[in-house]
Amino acid sequence: MRWLTTLMLILAVLVPLPAQAATVDKPPLAPTPPMGWNSWNKFRCNIDENLIRQTADALVSSGMKDAGYEYVNIDDCWMATQRDAAGDLQADPVRFPSGIKALADYVHAKGLKLGIYSSAGTATCQGRPASLGHERADARKFAEWEVDLLKYDNCHDGGIPAIERFTAMAEALRATGRPILLSVCEWGANQPWNWAGELGHMWRTTGDIADRWGSMVAILDQQVGLEKYSGPGRWNDPDMLEVGNGGMTMTEYRSHLSLWALLNAPLIAGNDLRSMSEEVREMLTNREVIAVNQDWAGVQGHKISDSGDLEVWAKPLSDGGAAVVLFNRGAVGAEVATSAAELGLPAAPAYEVRDLWSGQETVTLGKVRASIPSHGSRMYVVRRGVPAKPVPAVATAVRTDTEGFVKPGQTFAATVSFAVDGLPAVLAAEVALTAPEGWTIRPEGRTGTPVVVPGRPFEARFAVKVPGDVRKGVFELPARATYKTVAGDGAEREEPGYGSVIVAEAPRGSQWLSDLDPVTADVGFGTMGRDRNIGGNPIRIAGVPYGKGLAPHAASEVTYYLGRGCTRFSADVGVDDGSRNRGTVTFHVLGDGREELAATGVIKGGERATSLDVDVSGVLALTLVTGIGPDNNNNDHSVWGAARIACAGPSTTVTATPTEVEIGAGGTFEVSGRLVADGTEPITDVRLAPSAPAGWTVSGQAAQAERLEPGGTLAGSWQVTVPAGADPGAVELPVAATYRAQDGSTPSDSATVKVLVRPAGVVAVKEAESGTLGGAARVSNCGACSGGKKVGNLGNGAANHLTLGALTVADEGEYRLILDYLVSGTRSVFVSVNGGPAAEVRVSGTSFAVPATTTVKVALRAGVNEIRFFNDTAFGPDLDRVMLAS
């Protein structure tokens, strides 16, 4: 993939090759990739000794021990918050009252090994005591407890180079005399593949994995080119398995495990072994898949072909065969193919192909292929064989004449092909195609044939009608072929085929991407924000606000259908300020076949946005990718600010002035609106006017035009009167436009004026969420609050504050500050006006869901004022709204 190559080159520049690590006489462990279980992925800090004992029991009873899993690894949060009087690490007395040695004895008695965790820093990633400066003492303690593995993390590094920190622990472990496997968890930040093999037995190549498809494939992409560094006793580690944790489908988990096995990744399960389903247990204990991972030659698999979303990964085996994973990372089913020659196998009359998940054995003359569902894979071992085995390899495929996209009401052609790749021929072949409920399928010709021979596939064509009222999305078109073999038992056999189409309509004119539905959206955490960041707060990059934009947590892939009718994509990209100047992200704009159209270097939190303006002429589908930089992805809050697409067709942009009005009940204000016809076609019957709530009065005629050419404008102004009895609070006043396009459709567009209606006697109103937030302060939803939002996480640090500006009063003097707040219990907030001395306001309440009110007197100057709310030492209340009354 071109964008991955770009990323690797960027990292090579940003992270210079470190000096070689000092040679450490490490113990000869891990001749094959380590296997076991780790607590972090599923349980995080919710661990205790009972969980570890029960997991050891489950490792044995489930058959995982017999399958090769041997390490039971305790991750972060096992230690007490303080070292003991002698300066040694000690187990948390509540969670691990029996101590680590007793736990090791329990695990060893079951024929298993115990792993433990620390960090090469001043604290662990969760803030517990860590080992920087305590390496020898901690290593001695680990050996005393008879620990077998140390996962050594990279948090709170104290500014000391990674090689120095990890070398110190490697030397300390060696000095104990106990064979302890060292897992270097350095996140790939300093290219550990160049030096960690001299110190430890496995090293993380990336940041943390998440139980999400987007995270898994982003980590997979970063393994390309690292295979040459791996081998017996020194393994690349793309992080632990997420199989069974619930964030992916079983199809995706099977791909995850197949690829990790082929990559010689340490197979470290991360699920709850005590309650896993039988399907998950069988997946994790598949002995043939594990055998590929544990092959004694230790040659890591690698990607041998890449056709956009369709990839082939292969690994040579010690017996002369090859393991292969046919992988479809795309949104629709497709055939993935390779050959024995491409797998590096010598010429032979035929080759035996064994499916490691189904156990089926077939023979091929050279082709290795299969129809693969979206996000699916097939894993085979291919070896030299004889051509006349009873069951030849066959393949069923589905293709359409639509490039994969269809419209509601469309009729399209789908062809099912059935091919034989080995000998002998097959008999009585019959194919069938299935469509979603409500769709219609009609065969156009015969659907069966008496015989199919190698090199002459049978094809059947079907007409498929899409319902006119179908929703947008991906729809499967599964096929199946039934047949009988010439030799063998003569039983009817079946081969599936996986087809799909995507119902979508191409955008017209210029549109914000956040107003369009993506075809797919795979994100690294949570859900993608539209016009808000992933925390639900306004989007800001380096202090610059963006009213429109996409906010997917990296690593992410978001795809939009363009239909070859668009010309330009533009966006300002960067890390959202919610990351608090942390996070490192890369941005990639991909066209068809995952061709890279544009890319950035690594962008760090706090850096100014990078502007992209990309030619997308002729692109069928646009994919926006964010990747993680050279650290973990905990704060990779990526943002495509002001993401916009320019396409053929009519389009308008409506603006309204002012964007926000503060007024008392019974008052009148002026609103202006402007429409720009910014598409590629003229529009007719254009109308622009405010749409006021019931009881409000709008004076002035709607602005109208019979026809606007591209670039034409329409403007109007109106007087809006608020009813005398209007309820106080926030009201949205849309300035709406309607028009007729050349195809007869009647699109609409609008801009919104936010009107803050003041209660009687109130001279100024501000919603808390409209202010400037500092530090960890954030906006969240609040159904009972005046604007539906509130500001929380105020205080408990000088950085976490809220500032409300543009509080305008006519006269200097004393005013009542009416503060709507939310709290359970009693808290204090400090109030400073115009940078003056702060006054403490102590408030009490019973709920963080329902606002209460307090009043305090403040001195204001005539004109514009600014009020800051903070508490440097403790958490303050959540804030809803501030009002000023004379």
Q: Which of 172, 85, 191 is nearest to 120 (CA)?
A: 172
| Burial status of residue 132 (CB atoms within 10 A of its CB: 0-12, 13-18, 19 or more) | buried
**End-to-end CA, the chain:** 65
| Cα 701 to Cα 573, 704, 725, distances in angstroms | 41, 9, 25
Count of CB atoms situated within 10 Å of the CB of 53: 17
- Contact call for residues 642 and 674 (beta carbons, < 8 A): no
Backbone torsions φ then ψ of 568, nearest 5 degrees: -140, 145
H helices of 110-194, in order, are 135-144, 162-176
Separation between Cα atoms, residue 189 and residue 628, nearest integer Å: 11
Count of CB atoms situated within 10 Å of the CB of 251: 15
Residue 444 identity: E
- Contact call for residues 874 and 828 (beta carbons, < 8 A): yes
| Cα 460 to Cα 69, 254, 296, 414, 442, distances in angstroms | 47, 31, 46, 8, 11
Q: Which of 526, 507, 509, 508 is nearest to 518 (CA)?
A: 507
Q: Which of 826, 828, 837, 836 is nearest to 795 (CA)?
A: 828
- Contact call for residues 809 and 884 (beta carbons, < 8 A): yes
- Give just the sign of the alpha carbon dihedral 192, 198, 200, 202: positive
* Cα-only R_g, the chain: 32
Structure tokens at 317: 């085996």
Separation between Cα atoms, residue 56 and residue 106, nearest integer Å: 8
Count of CB atoms situated within 10 Å of the CB of 228: 10
Which run of H or of E encompasses 387? Answer: none
Separation between Cα atoms, residue 136 and residue 141, nearest integer Å: 9
Count of CB atoms situated within 10 Å of the CB of 494: 11
- Contact call for residues 30 and 202 (beta carbons, < 8 A): yes
Q: Which of 41, 70, 45 is nearest to 272 (CA)?
A: 41
Q: Which of 779, 754, 752 is nearest to 576 (CA)?
A: 779
Residues marked active site are found at 153, 208
Please state the separation of Cα 616 from the chain's center in Å.
24
Q: Which of 373, 710, 774 is nearest to 510 (CA)?
A: 710
Which run of H or of E encompasses 603? Answer: strand 603-604
